[in-house]
Amino acid sequence: MKNRLIWEQILSDDLNPFYDAAPRAHSTGLISREELALANRNSGIFLEALQHDITPAGMHYLLVHFDVPNIRKEDWRLEVSGLVGNPLALTLDDIKALPAVTMPVTLECAGNGRTAMTPRTCSMPWFFEAVGTAEWTGTPLSHVLDHAGLAEDAVEIAFFGADRGFDRGIEHDYGRSLTPDKAMSDEVLLCYEMNGMPLLPQHGFPLRLIVPGWYGMASVKWLDRIEVLDHAFQGHQQVGTYRYRQDSGDEGRPVDVIRVRSLMAPPGIPDWYTRRRMVDAGAVEMTGRAWSGGGVAVERVEFAVDGVWQDARLEPRGGDYAWTKWTCIWQAEPGEHVLACRATDANGDVQPLEQVWDNSGFGNNIVQQVSVTVR
């Protein structure tokens, strides 16, 4: 029996990631080893953790584009430069001395649900689990920007992390931008604590941006540089990716506000390999969470058994940017069933039953379905 060395299997023969900027091919087939390596590396939430208001440390979803930087707090500074009256180099203690806010925020990866797309862009192959809600503590970004003094001709503000690498042949520090209006809004935070503890290295220690209500790509981790620009930021993570596109030639439009979505904690007990569920007949209390972006409330969650929908009960949410708990009693009868849940927000937006196409697999909020056996 011939067993090849693993690295021979991992590397694609026809792809040089450093010099070839051509779009990667889509896949209609099974999962590639590169996708599997990303799935091994990045983490989704355990769906059973949807029972908790606040996702425990290490169960929150995590997407790391490059490597987790190894930052010593003593060596770290937050630099604020560009079109400001007063350039800054702040220590973590400087930032902690500013007024602090603690806020529960639901973060979701823009690529959540990508694996449902056919064909599928070659990236992190999320199923439904790229979400989590933490208590974030920090200071409003506006305090730091006020201190620096934004110039009147500021057009965008760029935020850079200490993480550096390549994507599609382009070497860059991870960087994203906001307009001055958005950056100055109350809810945008510079955070140094998660769930009452200093940030874990993988969640952005010592400081990260949190942009509540937007997909996670905006919440730059390992933030160490803010630059105020007189033009629109042209960084790869702003204009080269995180755009809704119908095809790869399309200029697209930016991915920003989280789309309405709900998930359920799967009932019963699982099979180890397939994750298929076995449920005992009788009354089952179903629970899950629902959320939308931009501070918009979820107004309705429906729960379905084999395509028959009923309204679930909603509990008050913990804040404008936190998810909403829903519950529903299901009278489970023996046999094979498919469960589903569907949320509607205050804008009237509702999760689709049919997959909506996006070339990069962004913003997919199709309803979750869970297949169960009742005994």
Within 35-74, which residues bind its own copies (CB under 8 A)? 35-41, 43-44, 46, 48-49, 51-52, 56-59, 62, 64-68, 70
Q: Can residue 220 be called a binding residue for its own copies (CB under 8 A)?
A: no
113 in contact with its own copies (CB under 8 A)? yes
Q: Binding mask 177-216 vs its own copies (x if CB under 8 A, - otherwise)?
A: -----------------------xxxx-------------
Instruction: Indicate which single residue of 14, 22, 30, 308 sits in contact with its own copies (rule: CB under 8 A).
Output: 30
- Measuring CA to CA, which residue among 372, 106, 125 is closest to residue 262? 106
User: Which of 24, 143, 147, 182 is in the footprint of its own copies by CB under 8 A?
Assistant: 24
Choose, by CB under 8 A, the member of 78, 162, 370, 374 that binds its own copies: 370
Q: Which residues, 6 or more positions from 261, have their beta carbon under 8 angstroms from its beta carbon?
A: 108, 112, 131, 290, 291, 292, 343, 351, 365
Q: Which residues in the 121-180 window bind its own copies by CB under 8 A? A: 122-123, 125-129, 164-167, 171
Q: Which is nearer to its own copies, 34 or 320 (CB)?
A: 34
| Beta bridge partners of residue 171, listed in sequence order | 166
| Amino acid (1-letter code) at residue 90 | L
Binding test (CB under 8 A) with its own copies, winner from 22, 269, 283, 308: 269
Stretch of residues binding its own copies (CB under 8 A), selected from 95-103, 120-128, 180-188, 304-312: 120-128
Does position 327 interact with its own copies (CB under 8 A)? The reply is no
CA–CA separation, 175 and 141 (whole Å): 16
How does DSSP classify residue 43?
A: B
Instruction: Please report how close the Cβ of residue 51 comes to its own copies at its closest, in angstroms.
Output: 6
11 binds its own copies (CB under 8 A): yes
User: From residue 191, how far is each of 94, 234, 313 by CA, in Å?
Assistant: 13, 25, 33
The rounded distance, in Å, linking the Cα atoms of 227 and 156 is: 9
Cβ atoms < 10 Å from Cβ of 58? 11
Q: Which stretch binds its own copies (CB under 8 A): 71-79, 152-160, 273-281, 303-311?
A: 273-281
- Separation CA 351–CA 298 (nearest Å): 11
Q: Shortest Cβ distance from residue 273 to its own copies (Å)?
A: 6
3-state class of 167 per DSSP? Answer: strand
- Residue whose entry in the numeric block shows the structure tokens 């350039």: 87
CA-to-CA separations, 14 to 19, 120, 167, in angstroms, rounded? 12, 19, 16
